[in-house]
Every structure is written in C-alpha cells, then in structure tokens.
Chain A
Amino acid sequence: MTARRHVATTARLATVLLAVLAPWRLDAQSLSPRDSALHALNRLAFGPRPGEVDRVAGLGVMRWIDQQLEPERVPDDRLAERERAFKLLDLGREELALRYGDALRERREMQRNMAASGDTARRPGAGPMREFRQLGGELQQLAVVRAALSERQLREVMVDFWTNHFNVFVGKGADRFLTPSYIEQTIRPHALGRFEDLLIATAQSPAMLFYLDNAQSIAPGSVPPMRGRRPDRMPQGINENYARELLELHTLGVDGGYTQQDVIAVARILTGWGIERPQQGAGFTFRDWAHDRGEKTVLGVRFPGGHGMDEGVRLLKLLANQHATMHHVSRKLCARLVADEPPDGCVDAAVDAWHRTNGDIRAVLRAIVAAPDFWAPQVLHAKVKTPFEFVVSAVRATGAEPDDTPRLAQVVARLGQPLYLQPAPTGYPETQAQWVNSGALLGRMNVAVALAAGRLPGVTTNLDAVVPLTADRSQLTDLVNGRVLSGTMTAHTRDVIRRQLADVNDPMQARALAVGLAIGGPEFQRQ
C-alpha cells in the first residue's frame, strides 16, 4: 500500500514537472489523429469496431466526443431494433413484482411436494420460475447487447460507470424484481444529466432502499399502523447501512470528513424512506409514521425536525454539492477514463467544472477530455480491461453480433464479473490488480480462441467482413493488426503469429488462429 502510494506520488510529480517543463502541449494535438481516435474509442467507448478508428480520425476526435455527449442526437436504430426482442423492457416494476410473487409461490409449492415425496432432486421449475429466470438472463444480456451495439457509446460507458458506483445486488430478495426498473428509470435517464438528480433518484429507488436496508430503518419507538403484521417480523429502530454507504461510497468518500455521528444523523433523516408492498407496485413511498421527528445535524448543518421527506431531499442536495463529493466522484471517473491512479490535473479540472456547472455530468466529462492528462503518453494503453470491457470490445473488434440469449453475459460472468451480482456496495474495482490473475487470463485466451473460431456461445461472428481470407500470411497478419488490433500489434506479436501460421495450410484455420492470438494476446488486454 505504502509502496503503491509512493509510486503514485512519484508519477504525479513527474506529470507536474513534465507539464511545467514541456514547451509542447500534451493534448490531443500532440498525438496523431489515429492515435487520439483509438484512445478516445478505448476509454469513451467499448473499443473500436473495424474501420472505426479511421472514421473518428476523419471526423475529428473532438467532434466525435461532442456528438457522443449529446446522445439523443446520435441515431441508434439498430440497437432499438434489437431491444424489441427483450420482453423485460415491456414489463414495469409492478408486473415484475407480480411475476416474482408467482415464481416464489411455485417454488414453495415444489418444495412442499419434494418434502412430501422425499424426492430431493432439484428441478428447474416449469412455469413462473423458469420465466422469471429468463427475465433475469435478459437483464444481463441487455447490458452486453447495448454496450456492444449502441452508437451512443459514451452514454453506455457512463451507464456502466454509474451502475457500478451506485451498485445494487440483483441476488438479494426483492432486488430480483427491482433491478430492471433501477437500470431503466433510475440510472439510464440520468447517466449524462446532473449528479444531484442521479443521487436523489438512487436514494428514492426501491432497489437501493431494499439493497442497503433503508426501507427497514424506522425511528426507534415508532409504531406502524397495524395491518395484521407479525410483531417479530417488524423492523427495529434505525438501520445505518444506507446512510454509511451514502457518505462513504456515493458522495463524500471514506476520507470525506464525516463522523459516526453524521452517519447516525443521516440515517435518522432518511427514516421513513421506504417501499410500498409488492402488491401495491413496490414503488418509493415516504412513511410518515416511521420518520424521526427530532432535530438532526449533518456536517455541522442543522436540520430542524418535523420537515418529513423534505429533510432527506435537502440532505442529498447538500451532499451532492460538497467539495469532498466532487473530488471523490471526479477521481473515480478519472480512474475509469484516464488511469487507475489518476493524475491530479484531470481530477482538478473535473472538480472545477463540477463547481462551475453545479454537477453537470457532461461538463465534467468535457473537462476531463480537455485536460492534457487524458492524452498523456503514459496513460495510453495503460489500463487493463475489465472482463466486461474485454468481452464487449472483442465482440466489437471482430464485428460480431451478440444474440438474445444470456450466453454472452455468462461468458462475462465466468471471467469474473457477473453483471448486477457484485454483493458489496463498493461495486467492482477499477484497478487491474483485481482482474489480472492467471486463471482469469487463461479464461480470456479461451474466449478469444472460441470467438475467432466462431464457437463462442451467444455471439455470431462474420470474420469475412473484417479479415478477408488470404493465403498470404504476411498480409493476413497485417490485416489482423489493422482491422482487429487497430494497429497496436507489437513487432514481437507479429513475429509469433507469423511463425505460428507458417505450417497452417487452411486459410480459415490460419485466420482463426491469427485473430484468436491477437484477441487473447497482451495488447488487446489493455486499453
């Protein structure tokens, strides 16, 4: 830890020195148009598709970024067409709650029958259980399909970032049916909006209220209107889980200067923020009877009692606009978009923009890409892809098409990143140490080889359109470098691939081998 911090400090120092001493400007202009296009497509998109680097370079990388920042003006018909196959998108939270109830009933029925017959073999269930499981598969696959196919790539990157920042776990009870509307109605509409709106939306989302137990948090001694509830099932007192993660993870950050007293006060302010019963639609509700009516103080700011739900809204606005929040979230954004240990320059630029615009996420992103740090030579190809980024970028690089089954999402899961299934509220880490280990790398090589051979489940490949068959091995290697690796192939990799191809006579086999080695090789693990 100390060593890492030391390295980070040294790197930061070097960046500062370089910026001071260098007479040239370390920004997009100092890179070739192709290099800057590739870098932007790696970080602000899920990697280039064949030919896309040239297209973005031709358009001008800054113009492409401007377009991406206004996704509503980027046509996305092909994705819209594909989304129609996902039944999940036609079902509201109420409908999903009902279907989940049906699935639970079927499961209980089955357990009763099993117990009665002494038969212990597990069965998948035929009706509602199976249907509900299919919807869960759709939820995961939809994330893969959107990331791979959307023309609004930066928006998809930000959806992924915020979904992870405001993590919920789809495996926890009611979150099985609350997560789809969380993604569609809470995260996606706000991904490029204002941070404050996004924060309030997550705080009022049933998925988050359930995941971090705020729905169970009630003022001590408060008594619910009894509707035949069993007293031993009633929640007892305040629950600090959401309050703590709200401060530590969602806003101020662990070093954000709050105390345990602040955590308790935040939990008291948010008492009463709960969820309707599933039969009533499982929406957000404020339960006045559960709210703590006393006065509270958070970060030295007084919250007089008796203001009900408004106290919470005021609190969230206060938190959204703290300098510590701006710094914490900006640093996380830069860790995703720039470098695992982001240079101070881009973080400061993001915080400035946040101050200036009251947390307009587009303005913050503009500031990050306008910062010289974003284009600095030492950050190019410096980040290792997460399993999700690896699979999606491989699909894109080979011009492949994911299908409607959950199988490609299962590939991502097997590589270590099951979607919506991170139990810890931290979300998945952004740093390479988490993702790079021997088993995971072998897994990636297997995915690459299968994809190149057209054997990867859940995806249709059409390599003819990307790397036409050729008997000339030099030409084949050049094509793979140019079309699949966007010109990043090292001389060493080229040598190894050429040697491997030497005695492969079948051009189909040769192409599959070359593409498999390229996607599974070290260059493609980085972005």
Chain B
Amino acid sequence: MSISRRVFVKSGGLALVSLGLDPLFLARAAFASHRPLPPLTASDRPVLVCLFQRGAVDGLNMIVPHGEPLYYRERPRIAIPAKDVVDLDGHFGLHPSLAPLKPLWDNKSLAAIHAVGSPDATRSHFDAQDYMESGTPGVKSTSDGWLNRYCRHDREHVDTPFRAVAFGPQLPRILAGTAPTLAIDDLQAFGLRVPQEAARDRLTRAFEELYEGAATGLLASSSQEGFDAIQMLKRVNPGQYQPANGAAYPPGRFGRALLQIAQLIKANLGLEIAFADVGGWDTHVNQGSSEGQLAARLRELGLGLAAFAQDLGERMRSVVVLTMSEFGRTIRENGNSGTDHGHATAMLALGGPVNGGRVLGRWPGLDPASRFEGRDVAVTTDFRDLFAEVLARHLGAAALAPVFPGYTPDPARFPGAITG
C-alpha cells in the first residue's frame, strides 16, 4: 500500500514550506500572521468550519439589540423580552436558546459580527446563497465556490484527500471547483459499500490494482487519493468514536455533522476546511419569540456548537467555526408574526483564534434613516471582508485576489474577528 509513502512525501514538502523557504511566505506576510504552518498530521494545524444557515436567519433575534427601543417598537409580537435576553455587552444579547454559548463568550472564544452581508441588493434566497458561496456578489456566471478557489490557489497547503470536506449528500456550491474536495454523508460508510470487512478490503484492493495499472492522468491520481483516504480512515476507525469531555451533541442531522467534523479534526488527517448546512431559518410565519419556531432552531445551533467546543477541548485553540446566512430579515415584523427577506444579518465566529467576547462590525442602528431601502438593517461589513480575514489571519492564505475575483480585500476593512 502506497499510502504512507505518499503522505510522507506530502508532509515532507510541507515541512520545507513551513520553514519559510517558499517565496509565498513573504507575500502572505502582508495579510497573515507569521505562524509557521505545522506539519500535516500535527494537532495544531488551523481548521476552518463553515456552517451555512440556509433560509436567511433573523440576525436581530439571534444577536438581539435589546438596548434599542426601536427594536421593541418594530416587533411587538416577536421581540425577545429584555428579561429573557442573555446580555452580552449591555446593548446586544443572545437569544435565550443560545445560552449554552455564554461560557464561550465569557472565555473570549465567541464573537458575533453584526450588520454583515452582501453588497448585492437581491432578496432572493437562490441568488443570495449563490453569491455568498461563489464569493462574487452580483456575478452569476462564476462556476466555482470561494472555498474551492482558496484550496486551488493556496500552494502552501498540500492536498490530502481530507483537506476540504462537506458533510452532506452533495458537494455544496461553496466547495465546487477544480480543487479536489469531498462530500461525505457518513464517515463510517466512506469507501466501498460491502457489508463484510474482508470482502470489502478485497474489493478495494482489486479496484486499487485496476487503477494503478490501467488509469492515466487525473483518473490515476484521484483514485489513488481515494484509496489512501480509505486506508487513513480505517486506522481511525470512525465507528468507535466517543465524544470527549462528556460532550452531548443534539440529535438530528446537524449534530451528527458536527460530531463527524470533530472526529475528522481529531483524526489529524489534514482536514483544513469543513462545511455543513443547517436549515430552517425562513421564518415568514409565526417565528416566535423566546419560544417557538426560531427558538427551536437556535437551540439546536447553540447546543451543537457548545458540544463541539466541549468535545474538541484544547484542540479548539486552532479551530474557527464561522456561521453564515444569505441575508437577514426585515426589522419590522410582518402581518403573520414573522419576518420577510431583509438585508444584513449577524454571523458567529467561535474558536481559540477568535477575537471573542465582543460584537464586531459597525452597528448602523435601526433608525429608519440608516436602514437599507428604508426597511432592513444596512450592511456595514461586506461578507468578503470577514471571509478574507478568516482565510488570511487564521488559515494563512497567501493570495486573496484569486479567491475573491473583482474584489480587493483590505486588512483595514477586516472586522477584526481573528486575533492578530
């Protein structure tokens, strides 16, 4: 089996890079911190976990501006009563369902970024998700996603089969493109699906032999990566996984995805980017207040993130979890005790490298004069500035221009989500 040789060669190459012999090292100094990159299997390699809240989360009921009287005036039926809000800084507070995250705020590993969003005015879920994943707001013909472009352009990180993994049945747009990425629905089922282990091993070897001898070009290299990945996972034995530190993930798809991400991070197989969806945020009707529809969705989110941080423990020092959502919702509640499609929303950043314990981004306020098109929270942080900051300061991205074509990320506009 050629697995150890290949990984060794890759790690060897990486070690050289991390000594700063690569000219890119100089280029990245403009954006990134100067941390040398640890070897592939080291337990402190930076990891980015992106969670997409599809359906447009109501940022105002997630990170509540309870210090603002207008908030209560515009939302007589669905505002979170001040007595229920988990206060953060006297002005903003967490939805009570997110109370499990308060300790992470207190230990400075959780930050919120408010009034973040797209420069494009669209209120279509489809278009806005598309723009957030392609990283090119307003440009529809971009065929790949910004996380894939990061993988393609950042030579400093050498590909492993598990470098970029989406947890779900299909590869999302954000990871689509020419750099190799994986969609994994279930770590245990990765590989050939044959019930008996001996038969499975044998079939795997047969296919490996077939491809070693008869495949050429991309078919040869990709298949070999696949067989390497199977071997790597086999040693990790995902079926035996037990969360550490008594962490309990919430039941359901989202909790399972987070558990598998934690598992893959701890396996030290070179995971750099993980992605998962969490849906159900399109609360047009009866979205509820401290309890109800949105509260239930936020409870799952909060419990999941808290369990994830607990499970990873010390390893969180080099992990950043970033939530994102295509846009926010109207400031004023609608006639159905819900909210309609708005503009800016709030995002969460969690992890050791996060500049936590604060609400970041310039808050435009809810005053009608400062609203977007007279009705929505205005965008004061372009989502690309937040994403670019995380890529540069957390993952050490060398070149941001090819990741966000048509845009020049400027450290002066970074919201400051990652400690320098």
Contacts and interface: CB of A to CB of B under 8 A. Distances in A.
A487 B293 CA distance: 60
A172 B140 CA distance: 14
A438 B211 contact: no
B222 A424 contact: no
A423 B126 contact: yes
B126 A496 contact: no
A526 B220 CA distance: 12
A115 interface: yes
Contacts of A172: 124, 126
A393 to B, nearest CB: 16
A384 B215 CA distance: 11
B126 A232 contact: no
Contacts of A55: none
Interface in A433-472: 433-434, 436-442, 445-446, 449-450
A296 to B, nearest CB: 22
8 tightest Cβ-Cβ pairs between the two chains A and B: A115-B286, A438-B226, A522-B215, A492-B213, A438-B225, A439-B182, A120-B296, A172-B126
Nearest to A172: B126
B141 A245 contact: yes
Pick from B191, B210, B287, B375 the residue with the most CB of A within 10 Å: B210
Interface stretch (A74-82, A89-97, A372-380, A412-420): A412-420
Pick from B182, B190, B202, B375 the residue with the most CB of A within 10 Å: B182
B213 A439 contact: no
B209 interface: yes
B103 to A, nearest CB: 25
Contact of B292 (A115, A249, A424): A115
Contact of B207 (A414, A418, A520): A520
A248 B141 contact: yes
A380 to B, nearest CB: 13
A425 B291 contact: no
A230 to B, nearest CB: 11
Interface string A171-198: 1110000000000000000000000000
Given A115-B286, A436-B219, 13 more contacts: A115-B285, A173-B124, A249-B141, A254-B141, A423-B173, A424-B134, A437-B181, A438-B180, A441-B223, A449-B192, A490-B213, A517-B206, A522-B219
Contacts of B230: 442
Contacts of B158: none
Interface in B274-291: 280, 284-288, 291
Contacts of B187: none
Contact of B141 (A413, A418, A424): A424
A429 interface: yes
Interface of A: 108, 111-112, 114-116, 118, 120, 122, 169, 171-173, 212-213, 232, 241, 244-245, 248-249, 254, 384, 413-414, 416, 418, 423-426, 429, 432-434, 436-442, 445-446, 449-450, 490, 492-493, 495-496, 500, 513, 517, 520-523, 525-526
A438 B292 contact: no
Interface of B: 124, 126-127, 129-130, 134, 140-143, 161, 169-171, 173, 176-178, 180-184, 190-194, 202-203, 206-207, 209-211, 213-220, 222-223, 225-226, 228-230, 280, 284-288, 291-293, 296-297, 337, 375
B167 to A, nearest CB: 12
A115 B217 CA distance: 54
**Per DSSP, are chain A's interface residues mostly helix, strand or loop, or mixed?**
helix
Nearest to B205: A500
A525 B219 contact: yes
A425 B286 contact: no
Given A172-B124, A436-B222, A416 B211 contact: no
B229 A438 contact: yes
A493 B213 contact: yes
Given A416-B171, A424-B173, A438 B222 contact: yes
A243 to B, nearest CB: 11
Contacts of A441: 219, 222-223, 226
Contacts of A232: 375
Contacts of A492: 210, 213-214
Pick from B142, B223, B225, B288 the residue with the most CB of A within 10 Å: B223
A244 B142 CA distance: 13
Nearest to A435: B218
A112 B223 contact: no
Contacts of A248: 141
Nearest to B134: A424
A416 B177 CA distance: 12
A413 B124 CA distance: 24
Given A111-B285, A521-B211, A424 B143 contact: yes
B292 A118 contact: yes
B214 A414 contact: no
B207 A521 contact: yes
19 contacts: A112-B285, A114-B293, A115-B337, A118-B291, A118-B292, A248-B141, A416-B171, A424-B140, A424-B141, A424-B143, A436-B218, A437-B182, A437-B222, A438-B228, A446-B192, A496-B213, A513-B203, A517-B206, A522-B210
B192 A442 contact: yes
Given A115-B286, A442-B192, A426 B141 contact: yes
Given A438-B226, A496-B206, A496-B213, A115 B288 contact: yes
A122 B280 CA distance: 9
A494 B45 CA distance: 44
Nearest to A242: B140
A424 B141 CA distance: 6
A429 B192 contact: no
B202 to A, nearest CB: 8
A9 B57 CA distance: 49
A338 B320 CA distance: 45
Contact of A500 (B206, B223, B285, B287): B206
Nearest to B173: A423
A434 B193 contact: no
Contacts of B182: 437-439
A454 to B, nearest CB: 15
A414 B210 CA distance: 23
Pick from B225, B226, B229, B296 the residue with the most CB of A within 10 Å: B226
B292 A414 contact: no
Given A172-B126, A433-B218, A445 B207 contact: yes
Nearest to A439: B182
Contacts of A434: 176-178
Contacts of B124: 172-173
Contacts of B287: 115
Contacts of A384: 218-219
B126 A446 contact: no
A231 to B, nearest CB: 12
